[in-house]
Amino acid sequence: MKAFEWDRLLLDQLPLSFLGEVALRVVFAYLLVFIFLKLAGRRGIRQLSLFEVVVILTLGSAAGDVTFYHDVPMLPVLGVFVFLLLAYRVTTWLMEHSPALSRWTEGCPVPIIRDGSYNLPAIRQQNISCDEFFMELRQLGVEHLGQVRLGILEVDGDLSLYFYPDDQVRPGLSVLPEEFRPRYRKVPQDGLYACCECGVVESLAAGDELKCARCESPDWSLALSGVRNR
């Protein structure tokens, strides 16, 4: 075998007419995955639970093989689809009748913001990237944590936020990008500062170099207190 043999790279020993079979196989695999999602009752990928993502990946592997491997027959892949659908139906039935199995399989909603600051144990348990989390908050119209009374991470990864009324907004940690949220270990001036790790707000004096009493982080950011823009 030689490198860059175009006959081998393009079709190997397959006839040109095999491309028509590839088109049929792609349509077959596409319809299988689409029908599965419809039968599962899901309208979008963001609604998929962790369990359903595993099912889709398993089906996707079988569907991917059948699209371009000439020696993979189509009926066994259809069998994979049928058995996965049956397994999905049985598992969802068991989850409906067993709360413990449901919690183990899909997890539970997790409160990650309470009263304008992080629920730190939950944040650490979920292993959430700070930058990604802040991006999600910004996309939901949040400028700082003091605007949020309660934030819940749903089992599908979405955030549900419950806001303070404008007259009850409290100072909080900015969720803006780093260039708009400088960090300080030595406070430059008197004011309210939020812990960059847990969001707790403290009144600090110029020159203070303190660790957060809640999480022992030495980094502080000037707390914001503006209301939400609607």
Q: For the segment 110-146, what is each residue's pLDDT rounded down to a tens digit?
A: 899 999 988 888 877 777 777 788 898 999 999 999 9
Q: For the segment 87-100, what is each residue's pLDDT rounded down to a tens digit?
A: 888 888 888 888 88
pTM, rounded to two decimals: 0.65
* Start-to-end CA span in the chain (Å): 65
Q: Are 119 and 112 in contact (CB under 8 A)?
A: yes
Radius of gyration of the chain (CA): 26
Q: For the segment 141-176, what is each residue's pLDDT rounded down to a tens digit?
A: 999 999 999 999 887 778 899 999 999 999 999 999
Distance CA 74, CA 72 (A): 7
- The CATH label, of 3.30.240.20, 3.10.450.200, 3.90.1010.10, 1.25.40.10, for the domain at 110-222 is 3.30.240.20
What residue spans define the domains of the chain? 10-104, 110-222
Q: For the segment 170-221, what is each residue's pLDDT rounded down to a tens digit?
A: 999 999 998 899 999 999 999 999 999 889 999 999 999 999 988 899 999 9
Q: Are 95 and 102 in contact (CB under 8 A)?
A: yes
Q: Are 141 and 227 in contact (CB under 8 A)?
A: no
Q: Are 116 and 199 in contact (CB under 8 A)?
A: yes
Indicate the residue type of 114.
Answer: R
Instruction: Measure Cα distances from 83 to 71, 77, 86, 87, 126 in Å.
Output: 21, 10, 5, 6, 32
